[in-house]
A and B are shown apart, each in its own frame.
Chain A
Amino acid sequence: MLLIHCPYCKDDRPELEFSNAGEAHIVRPTNMSDISDTEFEAMFFMRDNPKGIALERWRHAHGCGRFFNVARNTVSDKFLKVYKAGEPRPSDAEIEELLK
């Protein structure tokens, strides 16, 4: 079974305790009523779904209950980095380094 590190429990836990919560770092606009339908569609529905590194939100649903972010390789399913919600996204250089 895949083990996922929870940055709040500071422990590797079985994947059954977690749920995926979609792409990370999506910024909700503060002027929601002013944006066009196209802009709303892009923000609300369109996701990257990359082959390779995806930055995702995960939730330790059957554990501490916290949301956190991960950099995950969608090809190997390997979790390259986990970081707490609110922490900055890893830079491209850092992701390159993690892939080595």
Chain B
Amino acid sequence: MVEATPTKRIAPAEGFRVANSVVSIETAKPASRISLRATSAGARSFEKSLNFALPRKPAETASAKGRHALWLGPDEWLLIDEANPDDSMVPRLPNKQFSAVDVSHRNMAFIVAGPGAAATLNAACPRNLSLAAFPVKTCSRTVLGKAEIVLYRTARDTFRVECWRSYAPYVRDLLAIASKDAHI
């Protein structure tokens, strides 16, 4: 008998971290993620397994116990679970009013933190990241250079940058270069 040996999953940009006096950038811990598309009835149904309400207004987020729901569009949300393994948020009963797709391994994230975080991101992201225009607990799909990202401001000086894993080396290098110019 040949014994099966489990292969170790290698995450993109695993263990990456750069920091200077104003900003630090590091790869976020592994998390499970759901791409949710839902009618309004489907969203109400999905909430029952989520145990908190999905945000209904543009750019809003909602969080509870390590789970985050990010409004991406009128019928689209990105759900991130930092505490539980893959597919923990997928409801066990079939439902034709929503589509919940596990995208845990499609995405990865960088945490950009510090007083120079907004300046670092603004090197390649055209959005106004002032606290008035992009307050704490808001999110948005947008661009960072040529890569599409989902930007989530988790605290005054902390952003979570979700990107597709194939973009990770590009986003990592772009943020690292931008951090050198982020003097405030």
Contacts and interface: CB of A to CB of B under 8 A. Distances in A.
Interface of A: 1, 8-11, 13-14, 16-17, 62-66
Contacts of B22: none
Given A14-B127, A16-B143, A8 B73 contact: yes
Mostly, the A contact residues are loop
Nearest to B74: A8
28 contacts: A1-B126, A8-B58, A8-B73, A9-B58, A9-B140, A11-B58, A11-B59, A13-B127, A13-B142, A14-B126, A14-B127, A16-B126, A16-B143, A17-B142, A62-B141, A62-B142, A62-B143, A62-B148, A63-B73, A63-B140, A63-B141, A63-B142, A64-B72, A64-B74, A64-B141, A65-B76, A65-B141, A66-B74
Contacts of B143: 16-17, 62
Given A10-B58, A65-B141, 7 more contacts: A8-B58, A9-B59, A17-B142, A17-B143, A62-B142, A63-B142, A64-B58
A66 B72 CA distance: 10
B143 to A, nearest CB: 5
Interface in B100-155: 126-127, 140-143, 148
Of listed A9, A13, A14, residue having the most chain B CB within 10 A:
A9
A62 B140 CA distance: 9
B107 to A, nearest CB: 15
A10 B57 CA distance: 10
A65 B142 contact: no
B78 to A, nearest CB: 12
B173 to A, nearest CB: 20
Interface of B: 58-59, 72-74, 76, 126-127, 140-143, 148
Nearest to A10: B58
Contacts of B76: 64-65
Contacts of A1: 126
A10 B56 CA distance: 13
Contact of A66 (B59, B73, B148): B73
A1 B73 CA distance: 23
A72 to B, nearest CB: 20
A1 B143 CA distance: 14
Contacts of B140: 9, 63
Contacts of A8: 58, 73-74
